[in-house]
Amino acid sequence: RHQAIEGHFAFWDADKVQALKSVRLLTAKLETIKAELRLSDHDFPGFFEQEHIYLDSLKQPAPQDRLSIRYVEVLDELAKRRAEWDLARESSNNALTGVHVSSFEQMHDALKQAHIQVDSSYAKLQHAEGLVAHCEALLSVDERWVISGKEYNRFKEEATLGEYCAALDELECLVVTRLFELSKLSLSGTGLSFPLLVSACTMTDLFKNCSGYKLHQQISKALQRHSDTIRNAINRYNIQAASLIPLRQKIAWKDIADYSFLGEFELLRDSHTDIQDKDWARPAHCEATTKYFKLC
């Protein structure tokens, strides 16, 4: 029993000594990086906060732009509903064409059906008119935009670009999630995903000697799910990229697999906000920020 107690505390002391060495080594590395990048301890919380604000902003697009795009969409909807109403009225005028004059039942059914179509199309037209008026009030539009007019064409293009940006934002969020999960497994930048790891070795072989075995299991399962989700998001992104003029760069799974930092995601310069030149997105600053918070 005494031997077990002595062994326990000997291991405890050795573990603490090793931890202190790791802290001193990490502190020295951080000080070197801070000197090279001309950073101070006050910069790192700022980097963290700026990244948090940016990621939080991806939840919703810019309100004014989204409203203008919605206005273009409801103008298209209004034109469509007006055309349907005109067609329904024309059809009602010709409802008795081809109906035998002696068949009062068929005449009644034809007129009833025409009346239903006219009422239904008119109700949809009124609803579309209401949506257009509501958008015009929110945007303070004095004169309704003309389809194919200057303002209309501008935000029609924005609508197409908005669909592209939405696909890009979705892909970015998934990449961020993947980077966080890979960082927990120390696999970021390796080009590996869990499905590829499974083909090389089993989960037990990979993590049986790790103290966080259950945690690794959960992370690995999440990685597998996200890999499939990212592939679907890549397909949606590539479809939107091909619809723009000029065409935007397409992306493949192998490109995503090699990312280590969000700053390496070059497509982000085409998103709503270009983060390529942001201090918090630079790989060296990311590494320094990670080391700083490890010491906190």
Residue 244 in tokens: 């723009």
**Do 286 and 275 touch, CB atoms closer than 8 A?**
no
Model confidence pLDDT, tens digit, residues 114-129: 888 889 999 999 999 9
* Whole-number pLDDT of residue 51: 82
Nearest to residue 163, comparing CAs of 246, 256, 244, 221? 244
The C-alpha atoms of residue 137 and residue 189 are separated, in whole angstroms, by 50
Position 269 pLDDT exceeds 60: no
Residue with tokens 């469509």, as numbered in its chain:
80
Over the Cα atoms of the chain, what is R_g? 30
For the ranges 33-47, 138-152, 252-266, 282-296, the lowest mean pLDDT is seen at: 252-266
Please give the residue that has the higher pLDDT: either 219 or 174: 174
* Whole-number pLDDT of residue 76: 94
**Do 247 and 228 touch, CB atoms closer than 8 A?**
no
* Whole-number pLDDT of residue 75: 95
The C-alpha atoms of residue 235 and residue 158 are separated, in whole angstroms, by 21
| Mean pLDDT across 162-172 | 80
* Whole-number pLDDT of residue 190: 43
Position 79 pLDDT exceeds 90: yes
**Do 238 and 135 touch, CB atoms closer than 8 A?**
no
Query: For 147, which DSSP code?
Result: T
For the ranges 31-35, 61-65, 188-192, the lowest mean pLDDT is seen at: 188-192
Mean pLDDT of the residues in the chain: 75
The C-alpha atoms of residue 143 and residue 146 are separated, in whole angstroms, by 9
CA 181 to chain centre: 17
pLDDT band at 216 (very low <50, low <70, confident <90, very high): low
| Mean pLDDT across 92-102 | 70
| Mean pLDDT across 33-39 | 87
Which span out of 167-181, 199-213, 255-269 was modeled with the highest average pLDDT?
Answer: 167-181
Model confidence pLDDT, tens digit, residues 8-22: 556 666 667 677 787
Please give the residue that has the higher pLDDT: either 99 or 106: 106
Percent of the residues in the chain that have a pLDDT greater than 90, as a whole number = 14
CA 233 to chain centre: 9
pLDDT band at 197 (very low <50, low <70, confident <90, very high): very low
Query: For 62, which DSSP code?
Result: -
pTM for this prediction: 0.46
The C-alpha atoms of residue 285 and residue 279 are separated, in whole angstroms, by 7
The C-alpha atoms of residue 86 and residue 241 are separated, in whole angstroms, by 37
* Whole-number pLDDT of residue 28: 87
Position 113 pLDDT exceeds 90: no
Please give the residue that has the higher pLDDT: either 139 or 179: 139
